[in-house]
Amino acid sequence: MTVARPPEPIPGARLLFSLDPAVSYLNHGAFGAVPVSVQRAQQRLRDEMESNPLRFFTQGLAERIGHTRRHLATFLGADPEGTALVGNATTGVAVVLHSLGLRAGDEVLTTDHGYGAVGFSIERECRRTGAGTRALRVPLSATDEEVVEIVRAGLRPGRTRLLVIDQLTSPTARLFPVAAVVQVARERGVPVLVDAAHVPGMLPVDVGAVGADFWVGNLHKWAFAPRGTAVLVVAPQWRERIEPLVVSWEQGAGFPGNVEWQATQDYTGWLSAPAGLYALRSLGLDRVRAHNAALAAYGQRVVGDALGVAPADLPDPGGPAVAMRIVPLPPGVATTLDTARELRDRIAERLAAEVAVMAWDDRGWLRLGAQVYNSAQEYERLAVRLPPLLARP
Ligand SMILES: Cc1ncc(COP(=O)(O)O)c(C=O)c1O
């Protein structure tokens, strides 16, 4: 099969990062990668902090955090008054679960495309409170209308206290029609938490228009922020009920200050996050998005072709800007969490390529991401080397 041409590379983009040139880094979605300019911005702030820690923490830090919050919220179309900076999406989810006041008989509804650690968090909160949890099965090929219908049929008004749905799923790299899902849930009086961990930077988004009760997104994946930078956006009717996980000096300030101020920790990552947006904008947001989505689609096709997967069997993420794509692995390969991790490590060690390997729906899947520092040759090399590796366990 001949595979369509890859997008033109963005000249010099790889040099903006400090990635090991010997490794094909095809998993930006896991932990992001921070441009050197942003690393430098954070280091300058750390130098300032270490020159006089007391002054750094007591003279103007709260204002700087507030400025950063407004900057990031505006970028996402979120209300700055309803946005709290948090360390990561997982923390944002935990704050919401902790604040819900679940009771025995309640349930938290999810889908089978949810993120594993978020699932564990839900399970623990349900165990602690006597509530239950249920995951809706959503076939990979479901259309947006079918997804909305599955959710509509799955809601149990009066009992479902929260629906957790991903905007862009981790194991399947699928966009879910979250605005329509939120509307259906609202009609039935069910609050919705949208897990949008991968959305900031990758996809254009207007959080206000999504209309969820809660929305969490990571800036440290696709928005080039230092790790530990995420937002939790909360609708007005919930803000007074939000309980931070750690009680500290801003407890009396209410949301968002009480969630943001988590005692003594390194806040320089948050303050450097606008430098990540600056780096994205300097490259050109639209150019970056178009490049990454086209390269991910190219990577999916060449690797899929090498594994003998017909183009029609390559899942479509459901949106033109998605910069991650999945490829089914041969039956029986990487079908469990442990064997998926083992294969990921083997690919890293033997093929010098970092990829995500997911076990989902009793199958193993390769998830390939694309970022401005990637080239078509990296996917082509993987396509040549992967089949012999899989043939030789
Ligand atoms: C959908 C989804 N939710 C949550 C997370 C957790 O992100 P973090 O580790 O930054 O909390 C991830 C990470 O990949 C994710 O893909």
Encode pLDDT of 328-363 as tens digits. 999 999 999 999 999 999 999 999 999 999 999 999
Contacting residues for 137 by C-beta, under 8 A, at least 6 apart: 111, 112, 150
Confidence category of residue 319, pLDDT binned at 50, 70, 90: confident
79 CA to centre of ligand 1 in angstroms: 22
Report, as an integer, the average pLDDT of 223-231: 98
pLDDT at 39: 98
Nearest partner of 100 among 75, 131, 69, 71, judged by Cα: 131
pLDDT at 2: 54
310 CA to centre of ligand 1 in angstroms: 30
Report, as an integer, the average pLDDT of 364-391: 98
**Cα(119)–Cα(187) distance, integer angstroms:** 25
**Cα(194)–Cα(217) distance, integer angstroms:** 9
Model confidence at 95: pLDDT above 80? yes
pLDDT at 393: 63
pLDDT at 3: 64
* Mutation test residue for ligand 1: of 198, 227, 229, the one with most atoms within 8 Å of CB: 198
Contacting residues for 347 by C-beta, under 8 A, at least 6 apart: 353, 354, 355, 357, 382, 386, 389
Report, as an integer, the average pLDDT of 251-272: 97
357: number of Cβ within 10 Å:
22
Model confidence at 1: pLDDT above 70? no
pTM over 0.75: yes
Q: Give yes or no for residue 109 CB within 6 A of ligand 1.
A: no
R_g (Cα) of the chain, nearest Å: 21
Report, as an integer, the average pLDDT of 25-43: 98
47 CA to centre of ligand 1 in angstroms: 30
User: Do the Cβ atoms of 315 and 326 come closer than 8 Å?
Assistant: yes
Model confidence at 320: pLDDT above 90? no
Q: Give yes or no for residue 170 CB within 6 A of ligand 1.
A: yes
Classify 181 as helix, strand or coil. Answer: helix
